[in-house]
Structure 1
Amino acid sequence: MVLAVDGSASVTYDEFGLIAGGMAAALKDPTVAAGLTGTSILSLLLWSGSGQQEVMTPWTRIGSAADLAAFADGVDNMPRTVKAGTTAIGEALLAALTLLGQVPAVPRRMIVDVIGDGRSNDGIAPGPIRDRMAAAGITINGLCILHEEPDLLKSYSEEVIGGPDAFAVTCRTYQDFTEAMRQKLTREIKGPIV
């Protein structure tokens, strides 16, 4: 599973901290932790505008509770290293696709979680990349933070999510993010995940 996190200018530094802390808390949720431990390989990708994608945490096998706790702590403490610019979701998907090509295992399922608060407005269009990934059996799910764009789910549904059993969840504010992330991860842990 690639956790692909929006670091664009629409996400303030305080909001970025809420995303990081909320993801870490959701990963440590007992139901989520039980579902991920022993079956998953996770990576963390931070993205923003064109040419602004960075792997924050390389592929990490979650073989134990300690592995998951260490990964979650890394998420919680992730620095914001990409330039806080535009929103290039297509390029984020391409970076995730490249990352999936480097998985140190033969995956049974491949999931990319695109987490953001705005529609793509830079770089290549996400739709064709999404279609290419979906055709390869990759699932792209979304978590839409609606505080600035109340209709963001429509954009994600049309351009971002795709592949087997794809879905998106929403939260109205960053304060609701932890619960939305927990719900999304709980829904995803039906089988071995990369």
Structure 2
Amino acid sequence: MLRRHFITAALAAPVVLRTHAARATEAVDVELVLAVDVSRSVDNEEQEMQFKGYAAAFRDRRLVEAMSRGPIGSIACTFFTWSDWNIQEMLVPWMKLDGPQAAERFAQAIDAAPRRTHLYTSISGAMDYAARLFGQGFEGTRRVVDISGDGINNSGREVGAAREDALNQGIVLNGLAVLDRTPPPPGLGAMQPLDEYYRERVIGGPGAFLMVADGFESFEQAVRRKIIREVAVAPPPGPLVERATV
């Protein structure tokens, strides 16, 4: 009798295991990953401008309307910070946003998130980390990564290789380049303008675009316009590069 019971349980066990292992995904119009630069070139005041800018964007009535107009009427969004090749910090896990109350909860989560600063700037590390976040409970008709930063890649692997890997997965990479008005230190040498760098080496995929903020004072305006365009149900053809100024 004991052996018969063991055999019966063993035969039934795989069915139970498959049931628990299966993870349902919920359909949304867009899966949007927000990747925010917290390297040492971003001081405390500038970091606060970034966080407040993102939170304000999700309190904007125009953004709430844009994300509700799709066939499904919702998006999924997550928010993380990045710096060195091995430093990415998830601050707001995936959340479904389908109206003003959900958008406000997301904004409040950004308000409450810790502010930390690290050293280097690894755009490639941010791309690699972001690419692994998709398919975690949601399935969007579009997968978009929104990378904001104020410097070029100086840590981790070559940014072009990371971009190619992301594009091969069907991910759209958009950029928000923040132009630093502070002159570079003497002896640093000529560097490619950041907006050109982001346009040529960071963004990519169908409908990808770059938003340029003229200093962190323009960040809030830039991020509002950028996310509204990203979550539009059928993004109209727009300029490859948009600019926001105070």
**2:106 alignment partner AA:** F
Name the counterpart of 1:12: 43
Name the counterpart of 1:63: 98
Name the counterpart of 2:232: 190
Give the TM-score taking structure 2 as reference length: 0.73
- Confirm or deny that 1:42 pairs with 2:77: yes
Q: Is the contact between residue 67 and residue 232 of structure 2 (CA under 8 Å) also seen in structure 1?
A: no
Name the counterpart of 2:60: 29
Structure of higher CA gyration radius: 2
**1:152 alignment partner AA:** L
User: What displacement does 1:67 show?
Assistant: 1.1
**1:86 alignment partner AA:** Y
Q: Is the contact between residue 127 and residue 158 of structure 1 (CA under 8 Å) also seen in structure 2?
A: no
Q: Classify the secondary structure of the residue corresponding to 1:130.
A: helix
User: What displacement does 1:78 show?
Assistant: 2.0
Query: Counterparts in 2 of 1:46-125, with a 5 A limit?
Result: 46-81=81-116, 83-100=117-134, 102-125=135-158
Q: CA RMSD in A?
A: 1.7
User: What displacement does 1:103 show?
Assistant: 2.6
Q: Classify the secondary structure of the residue corresponding to 1:56.
A: strand
- Confirm or deny that 1:153 pairs with 2:195: yes
Which whole-Å deviations, capped at 9, do the CAs of 1:129-183 have from their partners, x for residues lacking one? 1112112221110000001588111111122111110010111111111111111
The separation in 2 between residues aligned to 1:34 and 1:77, in whole angstroms, is 24
Q: Is the contact between residue 49 and residue 122 of structure 1 (CA under 8 Å) also seen in structure 2?
A: yes
5+ residue gaps, structure 1: none
The separation in 2 between residues aligned to 1:21 and 1:35, in whole angstroms, is 20
Percentage of pairs with the same residue: 33
The separation in 1 between residues aligned to 2:39 and 2:83, in whole angstroms, is 4
- Confirm or deny that 1:128 pairs with 2:161: yes
5+ residue gaps, structure 2: 1-31, 185-191, 235-246
**Number of matched pairs:** 190
After TM superposition, the runs of 4+ consecutive aligned structure 1 residues lying more than 3 A away are none
The separation in 2 between residues aligned to 1:146 and 1:32, in whole angstroms, is 24
The separation in 1 between residues aligned to 2:106 and 2:61, in whole angstroms, is 15
